[in-house]
Amino acid sequence: MFESMVVTLREGVEAALIVAIVLGYLAKIGKRELSRSVYLGLGTAVALSIVAGILFKRLGVDEDKFEGWAMLAGSVFVATMVIWMWRTAKHLKSQIETKLNELTSSAKGRFSLGVFTFVFIMIFREGIETVLFLGAVQLTTTSLMNVVGGGTGLALAILFGVLFVKGSIRVNIRKFFSITSLILIVVAAQLLISGLHELSEALVLPSSAREMAIIGPIVKNQPFFYILILALSSIMIVLNRSTGSQQISPDANPAERRKILHQETRERLWKRALAGVALVSILIISAEFVYSSNSGAAANPEQIFDQGQDIKIPISRVNDGKLHLFAYTAAGTSVRFILVSKGSSSIAAALDACQICGDKGYYQQGEEIICRNCTAPINRSSIGLAGGCNPVPLPTKADDQAVAIAASDLEAASSYFTRR
């Protein structure tokens, strides 16, 4: 439940905040009528992401490739929006004063289409990812808890977006543009790096251990992107000074005075609520990061086999759904390999290394097998198959009783490991 809540919270915060920034931006430039395009893009993306997620699942579409290209497209759209905001902000005051920002009907149509497309692209990618995640669980007791957790995460993300819109109404326009531009730059960088990682994992882009040594740690520490986004957006609103009480004229009648004080009280309420939701979200994401970091701590092999010794491991020893790590000594090099059950009697064997990240290894978190270097989740059913960040397959011979691995195959695999 907790893991599913974190996943949907992280995905949802990014999408909700981008929609909130667009709505806030339209309000700042006096184009509230274009909010309809935002909601239309949001609704269309949500509906199509559900349909596409189901189709992807049934047709077996490569999720890594889709997510990679979608992330790169998203980073381009976000970067374009930042440039657009910067250019508009330079002339915004004069446009408002002279009413030159009233676009012609044709230009307004293009503007509306651009807003719709931007929102659609950003939400569609996040939506499909969320649908695929929640659709991966069956309706058992545990899976129902995952669905509840996922729904809670989405609710928190949506609440944060609503509070951001409410709280940003009185934020100084220069401060709004500066901080939201910084937030969007962080989002664009996160999408670009994650997109390159996904395409490398799908073998669309060439990659090596050197490249993944750079990209991997960034992806591994991705929760800090979300924490930074939450912190920046909250700080902008919470630290914005209220001027309501200062605007009360000495000659104001009691009704006007009560109205201003009521607005000031409501503004403080929005700020406190936003700060509370942001704090809860940051604590949840941080707790999950600490938990996963502890889960990913290097483990000792269950057994170390001597050089020249053919290996035979009873199936009953490894047929429990857990990842089992073993090692074989080959000319001073520790060749690590893993065994994991893929079904009631099917056991997959692979090296504790991959072609992209090298010998960083894997760990188990819940039902997922995770790469220690880049935190790529590995589909359990794909272990034993070559490609991407999958563990390098290891030849085995198995019967109903045991899994046999030849010493010669392990010695040949020593090149994947660094002598320690």
Q: What is the pLDDT of residues 36-46, one digit of tens each?
A: 888 898 889 88
pTM over 0.75: no
pLDDT bucket at 163, cuts 50 / 70 / 90: confident
- Is the distance from CB of 10 to CB of 223 less than 8 angstroms? yes
- pLDDT confidence of residue 393: 92
Q: What domains are defined for the chain?
A: 2-295 (1.20.1250), 304-416 (2.102.10.10)
- pLDDT confidence of residue 297: 63
Residues 165-174 have a mean pLDDT of 68
pLDDT bucket at 327, cuts 50 / 70 / 90: very high
Q: Is the dihedral of CA 372, 340, 393, 199 positive or negative?
A: negative
Query: What six digits make up the tokens of 203?
Result: 């073998």
Q: Using alpha carbons only, give the angle 13, 197, 127 rounded to the nearest 5 degrees.
A: 35
The yes-or-no verdict on residue 354 having pLDDT over 50 is: yes
The yes-or-no verdict on residue 403 having pLDDT over 50 is: yes
Instruction: Please provide the average confidence, as pLDDT, over all residues in the chain.
Output: 76
Provide the 10 A C-beta neighbour count for residue 384: 20
Closest Cα partner for 8 from 115, 135, 120, 191? 135
More confident residue, 245 or 216: 216
- pLDDT confidence of residue 337: 95
Query: What six digits make up the tokens of 14?
Result: 């990014």
- pLDDT confidence of residue 52: 78
Percentage, residues of the chain above pLDDT 90: 10
- Most distant CA pair in the chain, distance: 96
pLDDT bucket at 352, cuts 50 / 70 / 90: very high
Closest Cα partner for 223 from 390, 14, 1? 14
What is d(CA 276, CA 263) in angstroms, rounded to the nearest whole number? 20
Helix/strand/coil (H/E/C) assignment for every residue in 153-209: HHHHHHHHHHHHHHHCCCCCHHHHHHHHHHHHHHHHHHHHHHHHHHHHHCCCCCCCH
Query: Please, what's the b/e burial string for 25-39 (b: 16 or more CB within 10 A of its CB; e: otherwise)?
Result: bbbbbebeebeebbe
Rg of the chain (C-alpha set): 26
Q: Using alpha carbons only, give the angle 248, 246, 89 rounded to the nearest 5 degrees.
A: 115
- pLDDT confidence of residue 392: 92
Q: Using alpha carbons only, give the angle 205, 73, 55 rounded to the nearest 5 degrees.
A: 85
Query: What six digits make up the tokens of 356?
Result: 């992209």
Q: What is the pLDDT of residues 2-55, one digit of tens each?
A: 566 776 777 777 778 778 888 877 877 777 788 888 889 888 988 888 787 777
- pLDDT confidence of residue 296: 60
Report which listed range, 116-130, 232-246, 303-317, is most confident: 303-317
- pLDDT confidence of residue 104: 37
Query: What six digits make up the tokens of 283?
Result: 């604590």
Residues 176-184 have a mean pLDDT of 75
Query: What six digits make up the tokens of 235?
Result: 């700080």
Lowest-pLDDT range of 132-136, 224-228, 337-341: 132-136
Residue 333 pairs with which residues in a beta bridge? 330
More confident residue, 412 or 89: 412
- Is the distance from CB of 329 to CB of 413 less than 8 angstroms? no
Q: Spell out the residues 6+ positions from residue 106 whose beta carbon is closer than 8 angstroms to its own.
A: none
- pLDDT confidence of residue 192: 84
- pLDDT confidence of residue 88: 60
* Residue with the two structure tokens 């995905």: 11
pLDDT bucket at 189, cuts 50 / 70 / 90: confident
- pLDDT confidence of residue 100: 34
Residues 384-394 have a mean pLDDT of 83
